[in-house]
Amino acid sequence: MAMGTSSFDVKRAYYLERTIRATEEKIAEIYFTDKVKSPVHLSVGQEAIAAGACTALGGDDVVFSNYRGHAHYIAKGGDLNSMWAELYGKANGHAGGKAGSMHLVDTKVNFMPASAIVASAVSNAVGYALALKMRGSDARVVCFHGEGAADEGVFWESLNFAALKDIPILFICENNGYAIYSKQQDRMAGKSIPERASTFGITASRADGFSAQAVYGAVSKAMAALREGAGPLMIEVNTYRWLDHVGPDDDHPGGYRPQSDLEAAQAIDDIPRLAAQMDADDVARIDAQVADELAAALAFAEAGDFPDETALGRNDYA
């Protein structure tokens, strides 16, 4: 039976956000060494959404993500060792070293394969949710996507189909305001994404994406409604990406985004806010645990072998 936890767990959310932050900061730190073999889309600053949302899900619930997916993967319980090995391009990675950062997957925890194609997971998630509905499953599907996904036709086709067929699915729109370097206001005419979604009859709400607790509350409520038979739902969460669209650098000095926006987001960073609600001993214990698990994952990746040439033709679909 897929059930979420009954109340917000500050320590669990802190542990997840710290793990995501530490993982991505380590990626940024070592990126210049070329040990990480794929492009990386970091979500530093956006951790509260994944942590808040995924702690409201049951193990059977299914998550679809995208190329900016480290946070969702970790928060859903994806294996950290095989993710790091995958980033290193090693055979002990979850896709044998052939997928990299943009194509994370861990089906053991119902984290579906991610893709680099904007909005592609939205149609896949709707199809998966329809299949679960037809099988009478208790599990529900959550699809994380950026606001840039709403620039794609397939996004609206998928919402239309989900609404038409009354498919139980939760779309979580992570609105960080930008698609690469283009502001939402410079790209999209008309009403907001939730308002446009609501024209299909989809109940769309908003939550504070800077607070895991707020996201947890909104997602718990949505999941309860989905389990009681509601059709598609959407929650738009506001957030801010601290680093560049792709790669480990800070793009603010380039002038695409104002430094003051970064500073405003950093001032409401959820990690210190969660720590302030905890005993210092718990904070220290969890920080040490995160450091140990990260060190073990890096060692796992270092110890792996690169795939041999025969791997090139394996797992191809013809």
Ligand X SMILES: Cc1ncc(C[n+]2csc(CCOP(=O)(O)OP(=O)(O)O)c2C)c(N)n1
Which residue in the block uniquely carries the two structure tokens 């040990």? 35
Q: Give yes or no for residue 179 binding ligand X (CB under 6 A).
A: yes
Cα-flanking dihedrals φ and ψ of residue 139, to 5°? Answer: -70, 150
Asked if residue 69 binds ligand X (CB under 6 A), the reply is no
Verify binding: residue 304, ligand X, rule CB under 6 A.
Answer: no
- Nearer Cβ to ligand X (79/270): 270
Any contact of residue 176 with ligand X (CB under 6 A)?
yes
Stretch that binds ligand X, among 175-183, 216-224, 275-283, 304-312 (CB under 6 A): 175-183
Structure tokens at 98: 């052939």
Residue 209 binding ligand X, by CB under 6 A? no
Residues 224-253 that bind ligand X (CB under 6 A): 245
Q: For residues 217 and 207, is the Cβ–Cβ distance under 8 A? A: yes
Q: Please tell me the count of residues contacting ligand X according to CB under 6 A.
A: 14
Distance in angstroms (rounded) separating the CA atoms of residues 58 and 77:
11
Region near ligand X per CB under 6 A, out of 125-133, 145-153, 211-219, 287-295: 145-153
Site for ligand X in 79-138 (CB under 6 A): 116-118
148 forms part of the interface with ligand X (CB under 6 A): yes
Question: Six-digit token pair at 81?
Answer: 């060792």
The distance of closest approach from Cβ of residue 295 to ligand X in the complex, given in angstroms and rounded to an integer, is 28
Evaluate whether 154 touches 118 at the Cβ level (below 8 Å): no
Q: Could you tell me whether strands 182-183 and 178-179 are parallel, antiparallel, or unpaired per DSSP bridges?
A: antiparallel
150 φ/ψ angles, rounded to the nearest 5 degrees: -75, 0
Is beta strand 233-238 parallel, antiparallel or unpaired with respect to 203-207? parallel
Q: How many other CB atoms sit within 10 Å of the CB of residue 250? A: 14
Q: Closest separation between CB of residue 43 and ligand X, Å?
A: 7
Residues near ligand X, by CB under 6 A:
68, 116-118, 146-149, 152, 176, 178-180, 245
